Amino acid sequence: MALSPKVIETITQAGRYHDKHGLHLKVTPTGSKSWIVRYQIHGKRHDVGLGSYPAVSLTEARKRTVAMRAQINSGIDPKEKRPSESPIFEQEALNYIERHRAGWSAKHASQWENSLREHVFPTMGPLLVNAVSTADVVRVLDPIWADKPETARRIRNRIWNVLEYSTALGHRQGDNPAKWKGHIENLMGRRRDDTVPLESMPYLQLPHFMRQLDSIGTRQSLCLMFIILTASRSSEAMEAKWSEIDFTRKVWTIPPERMKGKKEHQVPLSDPAMQVLADVGTRGKSDFIFPNKRLSGLLAENALRRLLKKMNEECTVHGFRATFRTWAAEKTNFDFDVCEKALSHTVGNATSRAYSRGSQIEKRRALMDRWAKYAMEKLLPEVREHRPFNQASAMASLVF
């Protein structure tokens, strides 16, 4: 029977106590405890120590045992292989993230680490990087290949990058088992990689939804209202800071580092969007407009998804951008370029962009004002006392 921390604490009698995969807990007559791995290779039996308990926990001992078994399965005798020559995949991946963190956004680094912890480390993490095989990569991808194709694509690419990094450091040799072209593509089966639009809400339903959303009155609901009224991406709004708001011009300036295209984007703010800023009540209490409950950082990444689920809505937060774009195309006569720039999309080729450098912000202001008027049209007096936005009163309500 496998050991557990609770059982280990109760063991006092000298002897060896088997866990699994050849891992044993050795207890001396004096009561000291240490880890031993027993294995057989080339017809000979060997014992290798992994350290004392509790300095090396049961979980860590098991990880080291699995890594050692991977070496043995590759024909490598762990007693003859210095551990420093080949780290385990998990440590190599974390080192890779740290090497690149300075050039990434905080969100991108978090996505890298979280995706590896969820999908890769449980199976591949304890393996020595020079022992990772094609079968190991396939074992990671199989559970998500059909149901989460985009996640699977990113995971394969991230494994590939880590192993390329490891090869450059001299920690492994040979072909990269996560290589796509001519390798993994032949093993995983073809997928239809058609772009599937994120679930969006039909624009005819939006005014009724905004009425329901307005009645909730939480920081999450206000953040979602702001996202809808500005047609922004969720990360842009959730990370928005008060310093980015020009209350005089009614403009929100998003810095390049937070934009998908790495270019500054100015968003004209309608009266209802300005009213959301007045209602949220966090200015002077947090740098962020929509901070978490403790005002110490950002809202949880899934906070808005949870809100939509609670409201029994099947659409996604990002899908409201499609709602806006469909409404603009079907219900207005605004130019294509104006609508696309409202979504911070790149318009035209390099030559045309060189001759058209304006942001068309005033044209976009007219578009966003009309969008806000449509989105908020079902909010009745009993839900909220709606009135034209008064800048002086809103500014007075903000805490400095």
Q: What is the 3-state secondary structure (H, E, C) of 305-344?
A: HHHHHHCCCCCCCCHHHHHHHHHHHHHCCCCHHHHHHHCC
pTM of the full predicted structure? Answer: 0.51
The per-residue pLDDT of the chain, averaged, comes to 83
CB 281 within 8 A of CB 218: no
Mean pLDDT of 317-325: 93
Instruction: Measure the CA–CA gap between 233 and 238, rounded to whole angstroms.
Output: 9
Q: How confident is the model at residue 394 (pLDDT cuts 50, 70, 90)?
A: very low
pLDDT for 162 equals 94
DSSP assigned state of 81? S
Mean pLDDT of 338-360: 63
Return the beta strands (E) in 90-199 as ranges.
none
- Tokens representing 168? 């450059």
pLDDT for 160 equals 93
- Using one digit for the tens of pLDDT, what is the confidence trace for 286-312? 999 999 988 988 998 889 999 999 998
pLDDT for 350 equals 44
User: Residue 297: CA atoms inside 13 Å, Cβ hemisphere, count?
Assistant: 3
- Using one digit for the tens of pLDDT, what is the confidence trace for 76-108? 777 665 444 578 899 899 999 998 888 777 878
Is pLDDT of 347 > 80? no
pLDDT for 248 equals 94
- Using one digit for the tens of pLDDT, what is the confidence trace for 30-73? 777 888 888 888 778 888 777 778 767 888 888 888 877 877 87
Q: How confident is the model at residue 110 (pLDDT cuts 50, 70, 90)?
A: confident
Q: Which residue has the tokens 């996505």?
A: 111
Residues 6+ positions from 253 with CB-CB distance below 8 Å: 244, 246, 264, 265, 266, 267
Q: What domains, with CATH codes, occur in the chain?
A: 5-57 (3.30.160.390), 89-186 (1.10.150.130), 203-397 (1.10.443.10)
pLDDT for 34 equals 84
Q: Which residue has the tokens 């290779």?
A: 41
- Tokens representing 356? 């058209």
Secondary structure element (H or E) that encloses residue 191, with its range? none
